[in-house]
Structure formats: C-alpha cells, structure tokens
Amino acid sequence: MHLPHALVPAPASVQQATAEGVFTLGPGTGLGSGPGAGSAERWLRSALGAATGYDLPPGRPGIDLAVDAALPAEGYRLTVDPDGVRIVGGDAAGVFWGAQTLRQLLGPEAFRRAPVKRGGWALPAVAIADAPRFGWRGVLLDVARHFLPKADVLRYLDLLAAHKLNVLHLHLTDDQGWRVEVRRYPELTRAGAWRERSMVGYRTAQRRDDTPHGGYYTQDDLREIVAYAAERHITIVPEIDVPGHSQAAIAAYPELGNHDVVDTAALRTWTDWGVNPNVLNVEDGTLRFFENVLEEVLDVFPSTFVHLGGDECPKEQWRASPSAQARIKELGLADEDALQSWFIRHFDAWLAARGRRLIGWDEILEGGLAEGAAVSSWRGYAGGIAAARAGHDVVMCPEQQVYLDHRQAPGADEPVPIGWVRSLEDVYRFEPVPPTLHQEPEAAAHVIGTQANLWTEFTADAREVDYRAFPRLAAFAEVAWSPLPDEPAERDFAGFERRMRAAHYARLDALGVEYRPESGPRPW
Ligand code: TNX
C-alpha cells in the first residue's frame, strides 16, 4: 500500500483530493474551533505557533476545527484544499488526533519549538478519514526502578500524543522505590523513595553504582501530570503494585510485611533487581493501610482503571507465616494462590464501590479472577485469552513482543543487558488479537487494547528512556491505531520503514528524541 505524506501511525484512509493545489500557512492564517474542539485549538496554536512564528488568531479563515458526533469516537476527517484546512472529529479527542496529523503534514520543521525556516508551509490538497483500532493504546513507564523527574514525564506525554497513544500507565511503586506522596503515610516517600545505591547495568550488565538513587512526585506534581495528559486526551493509569513488589513500602512501614517470619524492621528499599520474597502480609491493618493509600490515589487520578499489580508475588512467606495461615483457615481457602486472589478481590470490590475498576497483571487469574477486574496480559497471550473468554476486559502486552526494556538488536554493543531481542520489526508485527480469538468475536471484543511496557531496571534517565522507547513506539503506535490490512495481506513493514526514513526520523530529530539509530547503538 502506498501511503503518501509518510504519516505515522498510518491513517485508515488517505486520498489525494481531486482539487488541485495547495494551501499555504502564512502570517495571516487564522485558527478557530467550534464547541468541544478547544483542546485541539490550544495545542495547535501553541505547537504550530512556536514552529512557524505565526499567531494563528481566531476569527480569520485558515484552519477550522469542529466536532461532529456522527463520526466514530476518537476518529476524524481532515481535508486540505486551497481555501484552508478543516478537521472534524467524532469528539474532542478525534479533533486533537487530527491536529496531530496536520502537524505531520506540515513537515519535520513543524516539530521544532522555534522557527528555523521562513515561509514555505505548504500543505498538499488531501482528504484523510481516520479512527483508531483500539481504545486503549498504552505505554507503561516504570518510574519506580529509576525515578523519572516530572519534566521528563511531561515531555514523554507530548511524545505519546504525537503518536496518538492515549494511556500512560505509571508504575509508581515497587521494591526499589515508592514514588507517590501519600499525606497520611509520609514514611512511604521519606524512606521508601530512596535507596542507598543503584544497580544500573548500562552496557556492562549489573554494574553497581554506589550513588544513592531516588525521588518522588508530590500530589500536586501528579495532578499537574494528570491535567497535562488530559489536555492531550491521554489517561494516566496509576499502578500501586501489591501484594508483591512491595519492599519499599515495607521498608517504610515494617508492620506491612510478614514480621512474624522475617525481621521486616531490618529491611531497606531494595537495591537489587528480580522477584523479591518480601511481600505484604494479609492482616486487617494492611488492608486498611492500602485503602487509605488508595483513597489519596483516587483523589489525584480520575482514571476509571486503577492498576493494583498482582504480579510476581512469591508465596514462601505466606506459607511460613502463622498469621497468613490463620487467614487461609478463617476464610476456608484452598491455598496461598487463593489468598492472593482474596486480597485482590477485596480491592476490586473496594474500587467498584467507588466507581472505579481494578486492572492487574495476569497472575491475578490464579486462584480466581475478581469479578470486575481487567487483565494486563504480560506473560504471553494465554492469560489474556482466558480472561477474555471469561468476559473480562484485556490489555494485551506480551513480553515476547512489546517489552521495550528488552534489547532492540542482538549485537554485544547493544546497551540493554536484559533478555531477548524485540526488534523494530518484531514490535511492528505484533498482533494484539491472537488468531485463536478470531473465531470468537465476543471474546475478541474484550481485548480493549494493547500496551508496550518500558521497565527501567537498566534505564537510568530520560536519555536512555528515549533510546529504548524509540523508534519502537512509532511501530507500536501503528499496531494500536491503524487498521489491519484485509487478509491475506500483512502489515507492510518495508512501507513503514520507508515512511520512517522519509519523514518520521526527521520529526523525532526535530523533537529532540534520542532514538536508537538504524545504524546501531549510540556511542554514549
Ligand atoms: C517482569 S511485567 C515484571 C517487572 C520487570 C520486568 C522486566 C511484570 C508484571 N513484572 O517487574 O521489570 O519483568 O522485563
């Protein structure tokens, strides 16, 4: 398929308009919007205003934005003819995604934050009709293993928006760090946000770095992030990972751990990577503690979905702990898997009572899935398929294809010492709905979307996040947004590469994204 204009992600349909000619953006060009399209107008005025140096005032002909609810959710039509540009979205988000397409049509210079050329902002006559394949087009950013300062998160949101991705799953807590201020429990960040040293492993696996590491977001920082995301039609899904991956919380409040079998008072925020045996206990006090934590989390994050982790919770301590065993007996449970399931179900009901929904990693299927829970299927498709068949919503994010912490190429100089190779092509060829579900439309409809996950054990700062995330997120954006070609055609990787080379790498350059170059790893 030939796609003009090197748009990424590829729109559902692009037609060179029959009308000849171009529209040229100039100092006199106006920008206006009808009801509901204000966010796209604000964003366009600021982004294109900066790149072109034009004011783009309202009330003059030029770029016209509107909402028409007859179009699909998040969909849009963009037409350019010699009189101007018109973007009509099915909703405010649709207009905004259309505005993102408009910036791509203007060329890589439109991605800069100050003008580098005079004039020449010509747009070809074109008619685009577009809408996303999935409603959840997500990226996980692990800010627990390595803290990413607020300014970097805001920048990352701009990069998501540029790729029409609409969910940022923030992994806020883990063994190695607690990153969200909880006013009722200040030790969570006073002690839990810091560790004595950091193990990085950049280039050489497992390099120890003896500098302390840490940081956290205040609730106002997070409110700012949420609002900045919302203005870009991105939802922030917060993750508080329980009952495993909790050593930072236990280090801050030792009564949360299995103190009847280990000396939890001696625990510190973890300085190692892997699956940690120090998990939460299942006492009433711990349930209340996390209800109180979540109370504050809900106040900051309006997202319907709240991620409670549930992954990699070793059960040894529960097997040894008299209080965990007493709980199993009291509840008449079969085993420790059922105990974890009970723990997650408790919070599922707690969230549901507050109008929210729980989402967790596919381990939450073990011992029985909580009633309203949705599943992030990370260990492959199997968990997601089982959950979808049982009528639960699923976000497909199998580590075999879309883990951005895995290396991008096999070379020994590739600075990602974790795991397997997930090349640009692997990510591009990822199909969120597995073939087994093709004959089961009801189950397939429960695949509400897909997500690429960037864990940061070996990714210490924003520069390295760029390197891991790009260009693979551009490929992933197409998986999540663009329609599948009619069978038996497959997604055209060569065509995607051509669009990357024709314009998209240049757009990323203009944005200052330090992606992995095609020629190989960066020297730093
Ligand atoms: C597994 S994915 C984890 C993470 C690690 C990741 C590394 C998941 C739910 N758990 O804690 O960071 O592997 O690839």
Nearest of 80, 84, 97 to residue 44 by alpha carbon: 97
Contacts of 382 (CB under 8 A, 6+ apart): 362
The alpha carbon of 123 and the centre of ligand 1 are apart by a number of angstroms equal to: 44
* Cβ 417 under 6 angstroms from ligand 1: no
Q: Whose CA is nearest to atom 2 of ligand 1?
A: 378
Query: In the Cβ-directed half-sphere of 403, how many Cα atoms lie within 13 Å?
Result: 20
Asked: is 4-130 a CATH 3.30.379.10 domain? The reply is yes
Residues 6+ apart with CB under 8 A from 250: 256, 257, 264, 267, 278, 280
Separation CA 125–CA 475 (nearest Å) = 27
The Cα–Cα gap between 94 and 507 comes to: 22
The residues spanned by each domain of the chain are: 4-130, 136-291+302-486+507-511
Question: Which of 169, 311, 401 to mutate to test ligand 1, by most ligand atoms within 8 A of the CB atom?
Answer: 311
Distance 175 CA to ligand 1 centre (A): 12
pLDDT above 90 (res 150)? yes
Summarised one tens digit per residue, pLDDT across range 500-516 is 999 999 999 999 999 99
pLDDT band with cut points at 50, 70 and 90 for residue 249? very high
Compute and round to an integer the Cα radius of gyration of the chain. Answer: 24
For residues 25 and 121, is the Cβ–Cβ distance under 8 A? yes
**Which atom of ligand 1 is found nearest the CA of 455?**
12
Identify whether the C-beta of residue 144 lies closer than 8 Å to the C-beta of residue 179: yes
Q: Is the CB of 270 under 6 A from ligand 1?
A: no
- The number of angstroms, rounded, from the C-alpha of 211 to the middle of its chain's C-alpha atoms is 29
CA distance 206 to 449: 34
pLDDT of residue 199: 67
Q: How far is the CA of 266 from the centre of ligand 1 (A)?
A: 25
- Which of 111, 181, 180 has its CA nearest to residue 144? 180
Probe target for ligand 1 pocket from 312, 363, 377, 458, with the most ligand atoms within 8 Å of CB? 312
Q: Report DSSP state, residue 70.
A: T
Whether 136-291+302-486+507-511 and 4-130 are alike in CATH topology: the answer is: no
Q: How far is it, in rounded angstroms, from Cα 458 to Cα 322?
A: 37
Mean pLDDT of the chain: 94
**414 has pLDDT over 90:** no
Q: Which of 398, 396, 420 is nearest to 409 (CA)?
A: 420
Nearest CA to ligand 1 atom 12: 455
pLDDT tens, position by position, 170-204: 999 999 999 999 999 999 999 999 999 876 544 44
User: Who has greater pLDDT, 210 or 58?
Assistant: 58
Residue bearing the CA closest to ligand 1, atom 4? 455
Which protein residue's CA is at the shortest distance from atom 8 of ligand 1? Answer: 311
Q: Map tokens 């801050």 to a residue.
A: 252
Query: 490 versus 126: which is more confidently predicted?
Result: 126
C-alpha angle 363-242-198 in degrees, rounded to nearest 5: 105
Quick: pLDDT tens for 115-145: 998 778 999 999 999 999 999 999 999 999 9
Give the list of residues 6+ apart from residue 282 with CB closer than 8 angstroms, or none: 243, 318, 323, 324, 327, 339, 342, 343
- Residue 131 CA, ligand 1 centroid: distance in Å: 31
The residue whose CB lies within 8 Å of the most ligand 1 atoms, and thus the one to mutate among 399, 403, 451, 458, is 399
Q: What is the pLDDT of residue 204?
A: 44
Against a cut of 0.90, is the pTM above it? yes
Alpha-carbon dihedral angle through residues 318, 319, 322, 327, given to the nearest 10 degrees: 60
Residue at token pair 């599922």: 348
pLDDT tens sequence across 2-48? 456 899 999 999 997 665 789 999 999 999 999 999 999 999 999 99
Please identify every residue annotated as catalytic. 174, 245, 312
Q: How far is the CA of 422 from the centre of ligand 1 (A)?
A: 15
User: How far is ligand 1, taken at its centre, from the CA of residue 359, in Å?
Assistant: 16
The residues, ordered by sequence, that sit 6+ positions from 369 with a Cβ below 8 Å of its Cβ are 341, 375, 387, 390, 392
Predicted confidence (pLDDT) at residue 496 exceeds the cutoff of 90: yes
Q: Using an 8 Å Cβ cutoff, are 448 and 397 in contact?
A: no
Contact 298, 328 (CB under 8 A): no
Average pLDDT rounded to a whole number, residues 225-251: 98
Q: Is the dihedral of CA 23, 28, 31, 32 positive or negative?
A: negative
Cα torsion angle, 516, 520, 521, 522, sign? negative
Q: Is 476 in the pocket of ligand 1 (CB under 6 A)?
A: no
CATH of 136-291+302-486+507-511, one of 3.40.50.300, 3.40.50.1110, 3.40.50.1000, 3.20.20.80: 3.20.20.80
Q: Atom 7 of ligand 1 has which residue's CA nearest to it?
A: 455
The predicted model gives 402-427 an average pLDDT of: 87
Within 10 Å of residue 365's Cβ, how many Cβ atoms?
A: 23
Mean pLDDT of 207-236: 92
Distance 455 CA to ligand 1 centre (A): 7
Q: CA 374, CA 384: separation in Å to the nearest integer? A: 9
Which ligand 1 atom is nearest residue 418's CA?
14
In angstroms, the CA 462 to CA 464 distance is: 5
- Complex ipTM: 0.96
H helical segments located in 236-389 = 247-252, 284-300, 316-320, 322-331, 336-352, 382-389
| Residue 330, pLDDT above cutoff 80 | yes
pLDDT at 152 over 90: yes
Q: Would you say 137 and 477 are in contact if contact means Cβ atoms under 8 Å apart?
A: yes
Ligand 1 close to Cβ of residue 361 (< 6 A):
yes
Report the distance separating Cα 408 and Cα 454, nearest Å.
13
Q: What percent of the chain has pLDDT over 90?
A: 86
Residues ≥6 apart with Cβ < 8 Å to 499: 3, 6, 7, 8, 10
178 lines ligand 1 (CB under 6 A): no
CA distances from 389 to 134, 365, 370, 431, 450 (A): 18, 12, 14, 18, 17
